[in-house]
Amino acid sequence: MLQLREYQEATLEALRQGFAQGHRTQILYAPTGAGKTEMAIALLDATKKKLNKAAMILDRVVLVNQTSTRLDKYKIDHGVLMSGHWRYRVYEKIQICSAQTLERRKEIEDLQLLIVDECHQTRDATKKLIAANPKLRVIGLSATPFTKGLGKVYQNVISTVTTKQLVDDKVLVPLKVYIAKEIDMSGAAKVAGEWSQADATTRGMKITGDIVQEWIKKTNAIFGGPKKTVVFCSGVDHGADLSRKFAEQGYNFVSISYKDQDEFKEEVLKDFAKPDTSIHGLIATDILTKGFDCSDVMIGISARPFSKSLSSHIQQMGRVMRGHEGKQFALWLDHSGNYIRFREEWEDVYSNGVHELDDGKEKSRAEPTEKQKIESKCPKCGALWTGGDTCKSCGHVREKKTMVSSVPGQLEELSGAMASGVSKQDFWYMMQFYKRYKGWSDGRMANTYKDKFGVYPYGLDASRAVTPTPEVTKFIDKRIKAYIMSLNRGNR
């Protein structure tokens, strides 16, 4: 019998309220691993029990079969609308549909509820179906609803749980991130703002040996031997090259791609899901970024650089964060540069969820400078630097440096996070001064930080209070004066 968690029940109730408020099309946002499929099944079953008809659209054969199997697990009768499928039963109140098949057929009539899986990648034909049926209620499922134009299809976003909450509640596990040798994408061609897969593949193959050696080093140092791994490669040729290089070192990594038969991919995924599988790792480009559910995967390797696809970056990390018995964390080896490139946006989504459809979320990012890349990782072990003076992974103490870089005969202008002569971490230390000695609240500190940098201070160390520099004092004074003037204007 299907039993939902408290936050899942709260999500469904919020969707019902959204419909009651007149929102015909809604997005159910929840992190990867939050159980969106279970919530969808509960909605399908509730619709069926009211003698109404409901359907769920998925865009891959393997996902259609997985969802049908999940419905069988809960003993819920249904039909499958997909070419040649043995479960073709158009009379059932619940239909699990292949998006491609639905585009060619018209068997679904009198539909009251449509659930669209991975709605951030909704096909045009599905959008037309939604637009042509103004009485149809629609729920889109997504962990990354950032695609441009979603706001034209969906009227409301339901977000009741964050990744941070699920990690705190041990539904998901945290990531232990290492910044490894990066694929060099400088000067690479772009298509619609994203690096071309051809260039990413060619450049990714140049560091295949480094990727393999880094995995061997880390899996032995941290786990004492090989652990289940997924590798997100740059293209088919890159995946094949990685598979060969792992095999040369005695490890069985299987590369799968769109070129392989569906039956082969299904068999590989089934084998990999076994606790005693002989497969050390799977390698793929996009296949593993959605619908892949193997909770005992311990390591993820990011080897496909993205210039703007925050969605793909978050989807990939989510594949290794699923909770599993005895799993305390997942290891993330970043060879793509994506973690630093999208760090601010990821930390925002991690802590706050998604509450609006923002077309600006997915745009090409300015590349971090070499200085920023160096400062983002521990110089000794390569772990992501998360604030403070000491690496939380190996205990290395970082040498303190002045706030400006000195070059003989001149001062070097700082940029990005180091703008205005103070780093984000140092600014946050100065906010602790205002808290300890001026009585500021946590909210006031956080909002002042956001006024300065445009984001909230996620993941920064708060163990020290540093005397504010004249520049920071001037910034605070100016902000206070502006606030007082706004009050005076309001009292006129």
Instruction: Based on the fold, state whether residues 121 and 186 are members of the same structural domain.
Output: no
Give a yes or no: residue 375 inside a domain. Answer: no
Q: Is 401 a domain residue?
A: no
Q: Are residues 299 and 188 located together in one domain of the fold?
A: yes
Structural domain containing residue 248: 167-368
Residue 46, C-beta contacts closer than 8 angstroms, at least 6 positions apart: none
Whether residue 326 is found in the same domain as residue 465: no
Q: Do 192 and 327 sit in the same domain of this protein? A: yes
Residue with tokens 């983002």: 376
Do 357 and 211 reside in the same domain of the chain?
yes
- Beta bridge partners, 230, equal 282, 300
Same domain flag for 29 and 154: yes
Q: Is residue 148 included in any domain, yes or no?
A: yes
In what helix (H) or strand (E) does residue 451 lie, and over which residues does it extend? Answer: helix 442-453
pLDDT tens string for the chain (492 positions)? 889 999 999 999 999 999 999 999 999 999 999 999 999 999 999 999 999 999 999 988 878 988 999 999 999 999 999 888 899 998 999 999 988 887 776 556 789 999 999 998 888 888 988 998 899 999 999 999 998 889 899 999 999 999 999 999 999 999 999 999 999 998 899 988 889 989 999 999 999 999 999 999 999 999 999 999 999 999 999 999 999 999 999 999 999 988 888 889 889 999 999 999 999 999 998 888 776 889 999 999 999 999 989 999 999 999 999 999 999 999 999 999 999 999 988 988 998 898 888 766 777 877 888 877 888 888 889 999 887 778 888 889 876 543 333 333 332 222 333 334 578 888 888 888 888 878 888 888 888 888 888 777 877 888 888 888 888 888 888 888 877 776 666 555
Alpha carbon separation from 457 to 82, 201, 237, 351 (Å, rounded) = 48, 35, 40, 11
How does strand 94-98 pair with strand 79-81? parallel
Question: Which residue from 425, 450, 446 is spatially nearest to 435, judged by alpha carbons?
Answer: 446
Q: Are both 199 and 85 inside the same structural domain?
A: no
**Taking the model in full, what pTM does it have?**
0.78
- Position 489 scores a pLDDT of 61
Same domain? 242 vs 189: yes
Specify the pLDDT at position 402. Answer: 39
Q: Which residues contact 177 (CB under 8 A, 6 or more apart)?
A: 332, 334, 339, 383, 384
Residue 112 CA to residue 131 CA, distance in Å, equals 14
Pair 321, 330: CB distance under 8 Å: yes
Q: Report the residue count for the chain.
A: 492
Predicted confidence at residue 453, as pLDDT, reads: 83
CB 183 within 8 A of CB 335: yes
DSSP of 57-105, one letter per residue?
EESSHHHHHHHHHHHHHTT---EEESTT-TT--TTSSEEEEEHHHHHH-
Least Cα distance to 297 among 232, 219, 227, 243 occurs for: 227
What is the pLDDT at residue 488? 65
**What's the distance, CA 272 to chain centroid?**
23
Residue 392 is assigned to a structural domain of this protein: no
Q: Are 264 and 160 in contact (CB under 8 A)?
A: no
Identify the domain boundary among 143, 161, 179: 161
Residue 203 inside a domain? The answer is yes
User: Longest Cα pair distance anywhere in the chain, in angstroms?
Assistant: 81
Q: With respect to residue 483, please indicate whether it lies within any of the assigned structural domains.
A: yes
Classify residue 172 by its DSSP letter.
B
Residues 222 and 360 in one domain: yes
What's 25's domain CATH number?
A: 3.40.50.300
* Dist CA 342 CA 146 (whole Å): 13
